[in-house]
Structure 1
Amino acid sequence: MVKYPNGTFAAFRKSVGEPTFKKNQKSNYYRKNINFSDRGMTLEQMINESNKFYRLKEIAVVHKKPTPIQIVKVDYPKRSRAVIKEAYFRQESTTDYNGVYNGYYLDFEAKETKNKTSFPLKNFHEHQIVHLTECLKQKGICFTIIGFTSLNRYFVTPANVIAKAWWTQNKSSVTLTEIEEWSVEIKSGFQPTLPYLEAVDYFIADRKSKNGKYKI
């Protein structure tokens, strides 16, 4: 059993700026007949494989963040095997991944849903939204990779889009249509398995543009 610590971040409940872009853009990297989700690979596994490829090719250094836990109770059903029965998070986790790409700090979360029409915002914790907002203020490139597993579709969604939706009162989800409008869709391939840096390139170019849409 793993328990989250208590805590509130009500002081951070403020607008992060409404995105003004409404046109979906797609990655140029596309392998039609290769779909790793059909081979039993989870979104996390796809990202981990992609990160390994990026690191070996010296393109980027991105790692999954470890979650520090305090082990309280351990059983030893066999001498060579230990089973953790109870543990607590030492501190609240932030996001899944962070790293560096072309001199830019990356910080992002990975989420999956079986829903075909929307993405439930309950999949995010408040401290994760706060963390992404704080990183955005420090000019980090922050986003969420959202996988619609039933549709075999993957989107890289800017963090400010998710944050604004999360803080909106009485809004429990982001529709697929909204995600299509506000995100960069990517396709699973061979190497890298999930080319999310294609979307990051869009965000970086947009940041440099005088008339940027993404505001990331």
Structure 2
Amino acid sequence: MWITADAYADDSSSTGTDANSSVTITDNITDTENLLGSHATEVSDAIAKTEKETGVHVHLLYLSSFNSEQTPQKWASTVLESTKPKANTVLLAVAANDGNLVVAVSSNSDEWLKQQKTVDALSEAAQQQLMESTPNWSGAATAMMDQIAKSKKTSTSSSTVTIGVIAMGVALAAMVVLVVVMVIVRRRREVKKDSEAEIEQASEDGQESADELQEDIQETSSEVDQSGVRE
């Protein structure tokens, strides 16, 4: 089966309508063609799991045709915004008879989710399941949700690495400062010891000079006394 995929990150706040594009979404899953069949419960559980683990709300539309003069992207955007979606809402819309698949992300989503590369990855994951001779309609939904989890994990890991690098840099800077302080303190202590040693040496030298002078005086006095006795 040939499916044309469109990925659309909605950055507009427009909620314009088209007479041929009105669709009422009352639940997370709208399946007018019963394409999910017995897998409906499985897909519903996957939607709940995705919301719990990633905070992303998923809406699925399985229709025979979009029945609109608008482009699939614009149609999906109009439908999504008309629901006044919560932050981080993803819409997967499939028109089985037209061969169209659209992934749209609400404009109030987090940056990682509404990035075009993320939306493209979600669209590709869903499309791959519909390219076989027998389209896997439920597989398209679950594959897209698996990709949501992967993209969320990648985004979180990238943030953690960035914070870790910054924290490590601060730690290294602190270590450098500590080493410098230790070196300076140690150097000051060595200078202080050297000064004390010099003073002590000078004191010892001075004491030796004083002792020698005292001995000279005593010897001179003794010689004078002896000369007086001879006379």
Quickly name the TM-score band, shorter chain normalised. 0.3 to 0.5
Choose between structure 1 and 2 for higher RCO, CA contacts under 8 A separated by at least 6 residues: 1
Q: Greater helix share, 1 or 2?
A: 2
Q: Greater strand share, 1 or 2?
A: 1
TM-score scaled by length of structure 1: 0.35
